[in-house]
Structure 1
Amino acid sequence: MPRVLLIDDEEPLRVSLTYALTREGYSVTTAADGPSALERARDSQPDVVILDLMLPGLDGMEVCRRLRAESDVPVVMLTARDRGQDKIDGLSLGADDYVTKPFDTPELLARVGAVLRRRVSARRLLEEDRLLVQRMEELLRQAPIPRITAREPQLRTPPDGRLHGGRVVVDLDSASVVVAGQPITCSAAEYALLRILLSYPNRVVTRTELIERTWGPGAPDGHTLLAVHIRCLREKIEEDPAHPRLVTTVPGIGFRYDLPS
């Protein structure tokens, strides 16, 4: 049974809305002022809050601000004021919807149901993301040790034993990486991918080649492994990982290490 916290200083409104919400299958807790509203919110852990803007003790804006500091519970604001700025302020503080008094009870019930459905959908997506991350971590743990070595003959080996890629230097003798003069820690797979890409600067290396050279033919979920490690590698070597300029994507083909001009 979804839990609703109804906060309004008008007793007749509290009574009528409590009756309507209860008939719709909600469990209702009420509060008549700002301080008690915050206390009830902590005690009852509601699934949605219906919050009047004009409250004694603490106004609705401050109550919403403090609720948002503690919880992501959906908030539907009620107010007799119809000023556009009030709506903007309320939504900016984190309110999910805004209803102006006087209102039709069925409309309010519909809005409460809508914010609850959005909350359920968001939680489901978060759970799906969590399961995906767990699966990716499991794949990473099960993945074979990368088979590229620092001296593999088909890869480029400069006379000084170092691959230079702008702010990135790979030392093949020590299998270490320095970025902008600072040593960084790379996983074996990240090092292998960087080693391959820097061996063919300004040339496209296909996804299949990167996967097979790093994890071997037939690696389970190789494209997922590659995407995860490329993202991690960019986090370590790019100045702006969201807009990579070194390890760039060639859509539909693979990746390329672009040497700075």
Structure 2
Amino acid sequence: MPRVLIIEDDRAVRDGLRLALRRQGHEVTAAATGEDGLDQLRAFRPDVVILDLMLPGMPGLDVCRRIRAHDQVPIVMATARGDDTDIVVGLEAGADDYVVKPVKGRVLDARIRAVLRRAGGPPDDHAAPRPEHHGDLVIDRAGLTVAVQGRQVALGPSELRLLLTLSASPGQVFSRQQLLEAVWEHSYHGDARLVDACVKRLRSKIGESSERPRYVHTVRGFGYRFGVR
């Protein structure tokens, strides 16, 4: 039974989501503030966090960054606005997915189960028998680990799955839509923000810049490809 932590200050929304997710078979706990949410994170050890961006006291973005500083638990952020800036900033802060409120319980359940599938394994069923060496980057598909210059890199579920998808076919150009469907398992037609924000986080963690990337290269007007430069 997936364990879900909801961090939401609106009591009606919080109680509604808690009830809906329990009906979908989740074990749910909830917090009304970011500070309480961080305490619940340590005590409850959820499988996924539903995080409202508009929190009193400690803002949702700060909560997201605090979680990402020491934990790779999947985060689905909830926003009352579909504002591009809010969404992009939230994704760049470390969120794995987002929903715009109000959201139906079944839709949120589908997002939760998708992000948990991403956290649980690579995008295909074929585990590499040996770690792959791409210059200084080492990818172990069987162990789901990544290292750069011998140092283990902690990647979030979406970042890891994105890297596994791209590196499985070096040189192949993937459109943003192809990556949305392969990594996030949803159509999200035309919504490239998830991909671009995830690429930015991935590049930062494996130590490359957007201006001169060594591994994940932008194909302007189309998408991304993997290859050692």
The TM-score normalised by the length of structure 2 is: 0.54
Structure 1 pair 122–36 and aligned structure 2 pair: CA distance change class (3 A): farther
* 2:157 pairs with 1:129: no
Letter in 2 for 1:86: D
Deviations, residues 77-124 of structure 1 (Å, cap 9, x unaligned): 001122101111111111011111122222111111110111111599
Match of 1:51 in 2: 51
Match of 1:31 in 2: 31
Instruction: Report the CA distance between 1:23 and its aligned residue.
Output: 1.6
CA distance in 2, matches of 1:24, 1:76: 17
Structure 2 contact 6–29 (Cα < 8 Å) conserved: yes
Match of 1:86 in 2: 86
Structure 1 pair 33–95 and aligned structure 2 pair: CA distance change class (3 A): same
CA distance in 1, matches of 2:109, 2:144: 32
3-state DSSP of counterpart to 1:129:
coil
- Give unmatched runs, 5+ long, in structure 1: 132-241, 244-261
CA distance in 2, matches of 1:75, 1:68: 9
CA distance in 2, matches of 1:103, 1:10: 14
* 2:116 pairs with 1:116: yes
Deviations, residues 196-237 of structure 1 (Å, cap 9, x unaligned): xxxxxxxxxxxxxxxxxxxxxxxxxxxxxxxxxxxxxxxxxx
Instruction: Report the CA distance between 1:129 and its aligned residue.
Output: 2.9
Structure 2 contact 34–55 (Cα < 8 Å) conserved: yes
The 5 Å alignment of 1:153-168 reads none
Letter in 2 for 1:78: A
CA distance in 1, matches of 2:37, 2:53: 12
Match of 1:173 in 2: none
Query: Bigger radius of gyration, 1 or 2?
Result: 1
Percent identity among equivalent residues? 49
* 2:67 pairs with 1:67: yes
The TM-score normalised by the length of structure 1 is: 0.47
CA distance in 2, matches of 1:129, 1:106: 32
Size of the aligned set, in residue pairs, is 133
The 5 Å alignment of 1:87-106 reads 87-106=87-106
Letter in 2 for 1:68: R
Match of 1:191 in 2: none
> Could you say what the CA RMSD is over the residues aligned between the two structures, in angstroms?
2.4
